[in-house]
Amino acid sequence: MSSPPASLLQSPQAMEFMREFQENHLAEIEFLLGQRRLYLRDPEISWPELADIEHRLEAHVDAMCASGEVALELAREALTSGDESAVIAGIHVIASFQELEETDGLGEVLHAMEEAATDLLSVWEEALVLSMHPSVADRVSSLLTSSRSEVRATAARILARHHEGRGDLFSPLLSDASAEVRVAAIIALAHLDYRPALTALESQLQYVPATEWELLTFAAICMGSSRALSHCRQACRAGGELPSGFPRLLAIAGDDRDLPLLQELCAQPKLASRSMLAVGILGLPSSVPFLIEHLSADALEVRLAAGAALNLLTGANLYVTTRAKEEGADEPEPGREIHLPNTDPITWTQWWDGHYPRFAGARRFRLGKPFSLGVCIEELADPRSPFEARERAAQELRIHSGQAIGFEPDWPIRRQRDAITRWQRWWAEHGSRHSRR
């Protein structure tokens, strides 16, 4: 009779057991990444709740990294599977591998990215934006000179969304043959506040097609360009085909003199809802009757935009609760509960009649308070702030503070909190000089 193995690792089934064990970790990583993606933009989910998902995700990645070659081989299989959810899980695991000698996990991921199918490059972007690896910026920068334009563009977007990299590496990309690369480089330069590129950005506004105006104008305004803001105003006055983001950009970067122009844009069907929201961003109390009037608009999206604009300006928090039918659900299913802006003109008129005296003494208001960059920082920190509101507040901070502190609402929660803390410290030190606009 043979003696039993001294340990599990000596058992003939050991490798099979270890592989199944790591497969469970990898499957859980796939699931958690999918949950994070699903919840990230869900207005019914408070953004701090994602921290629990990320902690669990880190624990599973750490467990795989501690398991050596078996886990690494599984992650490599996932990376080459062609399935998006498996690929992103493989990227997360491999990029974190530092336990094995002569294993450069991040280098392996970037090599695979350079050869990846074009339709999968967005997966690399998502994974590496989420990565907290300390060398992501330095290593991804090498792909800015890739022979593939789509890889250059993806690398530039990763660095732009990380708010990291050397500004001088992006300047040559402004003349890249690929519009995708140029646009990604423009945003990176804005986030890095690379002022030597401002003249080039301003000059490009004179000859690039209207499809490239929006991000180019935003980037130049971030660097303090009055010419770019004038370009935005002139384009809005000229009518015709206008970038869809121009009303919001004008509201963020402009002033109370721009209200009549934004109200005119509300009459254009293609821009009506976006322009209505922009009126709310501008936050002038004199615009409240205009917004209440449009609660009776024919188009539902315009009515909802007017209600959202009123809540943003006043902080009244007038919402209605309804149920959204889940896609593919059977008819009897009630759907999950969601909250939509109240669009009843009578309710809003009564509220405004009882509260309008509070809206004296300041030009602009945000959430019922006199507008300041401090209120924007509060929007970043508020657990109830939805993704789009935090994205817009971060843009306002970037434009009006002149600081490249950075913030992205899809960053890991730990990094978001660190950025919010830096913004709060900056406001505590410099807020008296930026108190109102």
Q: Tens-of-pLDDT digits for all 437 residues of the chain?
A: 455 555 555 555 666 767 888 899 999 999 999 999 999 999 889 999 999 999 999 999 999 988 888 899 999 999 999 899 999 999 999 998 865 555 688 999 999 999 999 999 999 999 999 988 888 889 999 999 999 999 999 999 999 999 999 999 999 999 999 999 999 999 999 999 999 999 999 999 988 888 889 999 999 999 999 999 999 999 999 877 889 999 999 999 999 999 999 999 999 999 999 999 999 999 999 999 999 999 999 999 999 999 999 999 999 999 999 877 666 555 556 677 888 999 999 999 999 999 999 998 778 999 999 999 999 999 999 999 999 999 999 999 999 999 999 999 999 999 999 999 999 999 999 876 765 44
409 in any annotated domain: yes
pLDDT for position 347: 97
What confidence score (pLDDT) does residue 185 get? Answer: 96
Q: Which of 110, 134, 165 is the last residue of a domain?
A: 165
Number of domains in the chain: 2
pLDDT at position 15 is 63
Which of residues 144, 165, 186 is at a domain's end? 165
Residue 166 burial (CB < 10 Å; 0-12/13-18/19+)?
Answer: middle
Helix axes 213-222, 246-253, angle to 10 degrees: 10
- Does residue 310 form part of some domain? no
Domain edge (last residue) among 118, 143, 165 = 165
In a domain, 207, yes or no: no
Q: Is residue 102 part of a domain?
A: yes
Q: Does residue 297 sit within a domain?
A: no
> Is 96 part of any domain?
yes
| pLDDT at site 99 | 52
Domain range for 429: 372-437
pTM, full prediction: 0.90
C-alpha dist (Å) from residue 373 to 228, 397, 402: 22, 6, 12
Model pLDDT, residue 337:
83
pLDDT (0 to 100) of residue 101 = 53
Q: Confirm whether 414 is domain-assigned.
A: yes
